[in-house]
Structure 1
Amino acid sequence: MVRYVLNDRYELRSMLGSGGMAAVWQATDRWLGRKVAVKVLHERVLDDPTVAGRFEREARMVAGLAHPNIVALHDVGVDGGIPYLVMELVPGRSLAALLSTGPLDIAAAVGIAAQVCAALEAASEAGIVHRDIKPANILITDDGRAKVCDFGIARAAGATRSELTGSAQMLGTSTYMAPEQVVGGAVDVRTDLYGLGCVLYAMLTGNPPFTGDSPMRIAWDHVERVPVPASTHRPVPDELDLLLQSMLAKYPADRPSDPATVRAALEKLSPDPKMADREVPGRSGRDRRGLLLTGLGTVVGAGVLAMIAATGDGSPGPQTAPARSGPPSTAATSPPAATPDGVAAPEETAPAGVAGFDEKAARDLIKKLEKENGGKTTRGNSEARRRLNELRRAGKLNESAYRAVLAELDPPAM
């Protein structure tokens, strides 16, 4: 049933979803005879220049991106003073819908993450940072292809919050928000890699790194707390566990420098790099019907850090990262390359008189590794992280000591 026709061309038939800024409709393009998705701005927000600017920015940014892992923009227009975007209609489900039934198989999670990396590569090459990578903004087609959507709060790399909004608003979804977004620092592609790290963590474990009832508490956790390794929740290959920890580093300089590096690492882990062109493993028997376009972006309340300070909500828990003198580094320099895990580590033994590795013994191990590495810092040292993981899994390093020493591998960038 046709509900409305935009500019005598696009027949709006059924609403797919609605958010604070716009509604998304399944529609038919009369001229080309194809099904499309149309995102129509709500009349009630037309007078808000910030919302209108975001809508226009999404059109301009997506128009410059042509990639199989990004939802395509077909047309833009205005009807009766109301702007709209015409976009690719994606048959399938959102990743959020898939995760509502539990974690994914490791191969499926790795394949989806690799495809999102490909989309982020294309966006990065165009100088665009998505800033809201989350399961609702990743669509999975019926044949298993991942497509990133909703560039409504995307912006040029290096821009700060004040440059983006002209206000104290913090954009993005706090559950998947990088620390530098929380504190209002500059963003670049490593911001999106942190968001993807949170998504990969959710695909592997069934939940993002930090959860809770308060968006403010969750935002604070991203700044101050060290997430429990995914391998704590389920068996995960060491290489994947280490890659995920590097993606979730608090400081951009400690994360992988670009999506291509992460994609290459993920494809090495996957038995079939093209796996995601097939149906998602473990989901083929579920209902895969439905036509999707986008998960509408969420705006987190303004002044989140000030409110945390005023209310006391969001105090760091027992996994608190070490105290720092300032916010995460926003330097544009690329982080140093991680040390490759070329050979298996020899069996570690605790110091004489110590039944297992305690926090002090673990720190001594890190110092030993630094000495072996010519006195260089262990920051970003994948070998050190790998050995700590081995000790924890072997029961030689208790959880509290593991977390404390792991946090020291993520110090402030100088």
Structure 2
Amino acid sequence: MLESRPGDAFQLGELLNNTYRIEALLGRGGTSDVYRARSEISGRLMALKVLKAEFTGNDDYLALLTREEAIREIRHDAVIRYSECNRTQDGHVYLLMDYVEGPGLDKKLKQGPMPADDLLTICRRVAGGLEAAHARQIVHRDLSPDNIILKDGDPSRAVIIDFGIAKDTNPGAETIVGNEFAGKYAYAAPEQLDGRTDARSDIYALGALLLANFRGKPPDVGRNPMEVVQRKGQPLDTSGLPEPLKTLIDRMTAPDPKDRFQSATEVLRYLDGTEGADATIIVPKPQQAAASPAPPPRRSRRGLYAGLAVVLLAAAGAGGYVSGALDPLLGPRLPVADPYTLVVDKPESGPPRAVGHVPDAALQSTLASLMADRSGSADLTLARGAIAPSWGADVLETIGQLDDLAEWSLTLSGNRGDATGWTSDRALQERLMAALSSDLPGALEGRAEIAYRPAFLAAAALAPALQALEDCGPLTLKDAPATGYGPDTAVTVTGRVAETATRVRLFDALREIAGARDIVLDVEVLNPTLCLIESHLPQAPASAIDVVFTVGDRDEPNPSGRFFVGENPVIDVVLPPDVTDGFLTVSILDVSGNVFHLLPNLNREDNSVAALRDGRQGEVRIRVAYDLQEAAENGGLAFRVDDSTLGKSKVIVLHSAEPLFDGLRPTAESASGYAQALQEFAGRNAASLLSLDSRILVTATP
């Protein structure tokens, strides 16, 4: 873990968008930093990649981060799962992904050589993830040891991260030789130096990093551009490697892409010993003919699936083909697949696909035909594994039940599976949930999550939920469509709430109404004290008066306004050049329900702007909360954060033409007393109030 700095995008303990609590800074990169965060709604750990401030206005970097978010369509255990790409109120763009605990291969590389068996296991796992990514036409382009994490240190649970990482892909000295890129180009395929990249480039990179981890050091790419280009045209040195690792890496890292394995599927077949077998069917989009027969009615498919399932059961000999009992009749046993995976899905827009393992040619042909009927594709490998005798029939029955949905996915690992999807047909959703919510068909273990999404949801349908949970002012639907929310339209709510529990209840209430639509709560969580004051503050415009924070112990600027236990918050009010008269009233409302008056108070009674400026022109800083040493010398107010009152406090700056109150308020008073005094002033002399500005100060444990 790294130490946070005052200039970092997020500080430890900060609550991002009122959902994700920042727990640790995991790493710093050239264009982004990565944090560990925990959802305060679900408790789930997440990794959070935030684009550095200087890149947030660059459309190229934003596009790359958005591209990385699109990787969430890949469903494979070896590929990091992405959640959302979002922007905070102060402009930071971040990407959420699953948090994976374990060492990266870069750390293992520094520790020395790895065993060949572990590297073969990693190769099988990562190649499976690349197979799923390449099926989606997504090429990693930057595969290297730091982009593969061994979950819990287990080679069989390797996970690929950092798809779409922002980088300069143009050839040239800065890209090839610069310190930031030298390590990456140790693993880049030769064609990448010419700006050409395809799936075979990922295969080269995987082979190169396997070699590096076997040797315990990265390949030497040279010290200048000429050496880099020359060495990239030569085969990697695999002398001394044991078989089959040597041949595997040789064929993955051939300098000419035509001489390499042409796909991740070919790598897997080599590892399984089935290279050259006719085990894969790719179904192209069929050509339309003038006399094409009309497609059968949708409702007739279920009978077709049932009939095919019976045929498959008969062909499988009640599991004999998978178990090997029929080997004397049917020929050699199939290779073992572990894990035994199959993914069949149908996107809302786009062709369906089936990718993974099947136990027999009958199911392989059936799924390929089903995909071809819908202009989709099938990439299916014959294999045996730990599956039930009725597995194929159960898969077809599940697909038959899901196929009327607008979008669906079935993901299987052995007999265990998950089915998801959605429909705007309430009766269909209820029927499928009744049939599949407790268990999938036959011997398949798992359940379905089928969501109901009305075609359009009126904004008025959400209003009662918002009104019922307003505990800190109005909650508002942002940019609510006049025609209602479509299935893919996010519901965005703005406003304030008094506590995190209210935010959670709001999310649950909206989810109940909005179904599977995205819900974005752009809602600030305050506390009951701040909400009380918010409801009693007089109406006044904001101004250019600013509030700035400093860590008194270290005299360091603290733009985040977050202070940890033991630190000494120093507060300055910055007057712009044009604020030269009137009176300044500064108070801080803390989380315990108390108000401390920083200006005026018994130690500093004169709060006129003229006295505070003391003849100074231009921008002037007025210190209202001191560091401890200053306070000891001048008797001013100073604070040190303890763990008894952690949370959000609010600094309020009121600029008025006349003194705000009759006489001095006590240095500290209750929030309710202060709120009543504000209301009385507003009722008597509202026109005297020139501006109202505020800043949130957060106290937290490190």
TM over 0.5: yes
Deviations 1:286-334 (A, max 9, x none): xxxxxxxxxxxxxxxxxxxxxxxxxxxxxxxxxxxxxxxxxxxxxxxxx
Aligned length: 260
Task: Select which of 70, 83, 86 maps to 1:77.
Answer: 86
SS in structure 1 of the partner of residue 220 of structure 2? coil
Q: Are the counterparts in 1 of residues 47 and 96 from structure 2 also a CA contact under 8 Å? A: yes
Task: Select which of 254, 257, 260 maps to 1:255.
Answer: 260
What residue number does 1:151 align with?
163
What residue number does 2:270 align with?
265
What is the Cα deviation at residue 54 of structure 1? 1.4
What is the Cα deviation at residue 143 of structure 1? 5.5
Q: Does residue 91 of structure 2 align to residue 86 of structure 1?
A: no
What residue number does 2:69 align with?
59
Change (3 A) 1:143 1:205: closer
What residue number does 2:235 align with?
226
What residue number does 2:77 align with?
68
Change (3 A) 1:218 1:111: farther
What residue number does 1:328 align with?
none
What residue number does 2:656 align with?
none
CA separation in 1, counterparts of 2:112 and 2:267? Answer: 24
What is the Cα deviation at residue 245 of structure 1? 1.1
Q: Are the counterparts in 2 of residues 194 and 248 from structure 1 also a CA contact under 8 Å? A: yes
What residue number does 2:59 align with?
49
CA separation in 1, counterparts of 2:106 and 2:54? Answer: 28
What is the Cα deviation at residue 50 of structure 1? 2.1
What is the Cα deviation at residue 114 of structure 1? 1.0
What residue number does 2:201 align with?
191
Q: Does residue 115 of structure 2 align to residue 105 of structure 1?
A: yes
Change (3 A) 1:56 1:220: same
CA separation in 2, counterparts of 1:41 and 1:154? Answer: 9
Q: Are the counterparts in 1 of residues 31 and 166 from structure 2 also a CA contact under 8 Å? A: no
The structure that has the greater radius of gyration is 2
CA separation in 1, counterparts of 2:27 and 2:160? Answer: 17
Q: Which amino acid aligns with 1:228?
A: D
CA separation in 1, counterparts of 2:270 and 2:338? Answer: 14
SS in structure 2 of the partner of residue 246 of structure 1? helix
Q: Which amino acid aligns with 1:254?
A: D
Q: Does residue 220 of structure 2 align to residue 204 of structure 1?
A: no
What is the Cα deviation at residue 22 of structure 1? 1.0
Change (3 A) 1:242 1:85: same
What is the Cα deviation at residue 30 of structure 1? 1.1
Q: Which amino acid aligns with 1:180?
A: E
SS in structure 1 of the partner of residue 235 of structure 2? coil
What is the Cα deviation at residue 33 of structure 1? 1.4
Q: Are the counterparts in 2 of residues 111 and 273 from structure 1 also a CA contact under 8 Å? A: no
CA separation in 2, counterparts of 1:201 and 1:273? Answer: 25
Q: Does residue 193 of structure 2 align to residue 182 of structure 1?
A: yes
Deviations 1:40-63 (A, max 9, x none): 111122222222221121112x22
> What root-mean-square deviation, in Å, do the aligned CA atoms of Structure 1 and Structure 2 show?
3.0
Q: Are the counterparts in 2 of residues 58 and 154 from structure 1 also a CA contact under 8 Å? A: no
Alignment of 1:401-412 (within 5 A): none
What residue number does 1:298 align with?
none
CA separation in 1, counterparts of 2:169 and 2:96? Answer: 28
CA separation in 1, counterparts of 2:60 and 2:12? Answer: 31
Structure 1 range deviating more: 198-207 or 131-140: 198-207
Instruction: Kindly indicate which of the two structures has a greater share of residues assigned to strand.
Output: 2
What is the Cα deviation at residue 266 of structure 1? 2.5
SS in structure 2 of the partner of residue 100 of structure 1? helix
CA separation in 2, counterparts of 1:49 and 1:218? Answer: 34
What is the Cα deviation at residue 207 of structure 1? 2.5
What is the Cα deviation at residue 264 of structure 1? 2.4
CA separation in 2, counterparts of 1:224 and 1:141? Answer: 34
Using the size of structure 2 for normalisation, the TM-score is 0.35
SS in structure 2 of the partner of residue 108 of structure 1? helix
CA separation in 1, counterparts of 2:91 and 2:57? Answer: 11
SS in structure 2 of the partner of residue 204 of structure 1? helix
Identity %: 31
What is the Cα deviation at residue 150 of structure 1? 0.2
Q: Which consecutive unaligned segments of at least 5 residues does structure 1 have?
A: 276-414
Change (3 A) 1:143 1:100: closer
CA separation in 1, counterparts of 2:166 and 2:122? Answer: 21
Q: Which amino acid aligns with 2:163?
A: F
Q: Which consecutive unaligned segments of at least 5 residues does structure 2 have?
A: 1-10, 275-334, 340-702
What is the Cα deviation at residue 127 of structure 1? 0.2
Change (3 A) 1:230 1:115: farther
What residue number does 2:46 align with?
36
